[in-house]
Amino acid sequence: MITIECTWCDAELALNDLDATSVDCPDCRITVEIAPDPEPLAIAA
The mean pLDDT of 8-36, rounded to a whole number, is 88
Domain limits of the chain? 2-33
CB 34 within 8 A of CB 22: yes
pLDDT > 70? residue 45: no
Dist. CA 32–CA 21, nearest whole Å: 9
pLDDT tier at 15, thresholds 50, 70, 90: confident
